[in-house]
Amino acid sequence: MAEPGSVWITGAGSGLGRALALRYLAAGANVAGTARRVDTLTDVALAGVGKPGHFHVHPGDLALAGQAEALVAAIERSSGPIRLAVLNAGTHRPSPAAQFSAATVSDLLEANVMTVAHCLEALLPRMLARGQGQIAVNASLAGYRGLPKAAAYGASKAALINMTESLRLELEPAGIRMRLVNPGFVRTPLTDQNDFPMPFLMDVEQAAERLYQALEHGTAFEIVFPRRFAYILKFLRLLPYVLYFPLVGRATK
């Protein structure tokens, strides 16, 4: 039986967010899904028909100031206190050095970092007042170290890693669990656009199951998948630059 309270998933209209929403519905959870497009959320609701949980459609653009606060208030009015928020909304855009653009950096920081910041601003006062709650921030293994063509995307994900680590130190004693989600390559509409080999590519349903189990039954601060790819990148993160740059340069040539 699902725990009381609601589960809020942003970016729930496609990819990992959609698969995770369906997994929670299968477990009988009360799920609130947010995405910019209503039709994608409606598709999730239809896919969830017959599952023991309930899916509530809450469309909105989290990049707009005030939207997250209005959404959180609406969700808690209709579905009860948010016990778990999975801040998954975000996007990817390559940024090769030859076409480096400040606009691309700004766009990805807005889509990947500021959407999370707006959600946190809306969630934290409520969870702090209750003295409980869990927030999972979806960053990426690409935030560990600089990778080719990822100057903008990697910077946004590195910011999320640092933000979540910082908040964990302050919020854990207050009863709020911060969880950091660092996926590798997961088969989604975004990764389908990649024109390069993706090592250890994971099916989205498998990734959603891994994330669900970690959120509901795990205790680790960081949730990573696929594990083999994560371990490789964790090792690379430890290397000095004199070894890191030649090794990664050859591997990504």
Which residues does the annotation mark as catalytic? 153
Q: Are 10 and 88 in contact (CB under 8 A)?
A: yes
Rounded-to-integer distance, Cα 142 and Cα 145, Å:
7
DSSP 99: G
Q: What is the 3-state secondary structure (H, E, C) of 144-203?
A: CCCCCCEHHHHHHHHHHHHHHHHHHHHHHHHCEEEEEEEECCECCCCHHHCCCCCCCCEC
Side chain identity at 56, as an amino acid letter?
Answer: H
Measured in residues, the chain has a length of 253
Strands 30-34 and 176-183: unpaired
Dihedral (Cα; 219, 225, 226, 232), 10-degree rounding? -90
CA dist list (Å): 24 to 12, 19, 57: 12, 9, 15
CA nearest 86: which of 164, 192, 2?
Answer: 164
- Look at phi and psi of residue 135 and say left if phi exceeds 0, alpha if psi is from -120 to 50, else beta: beta
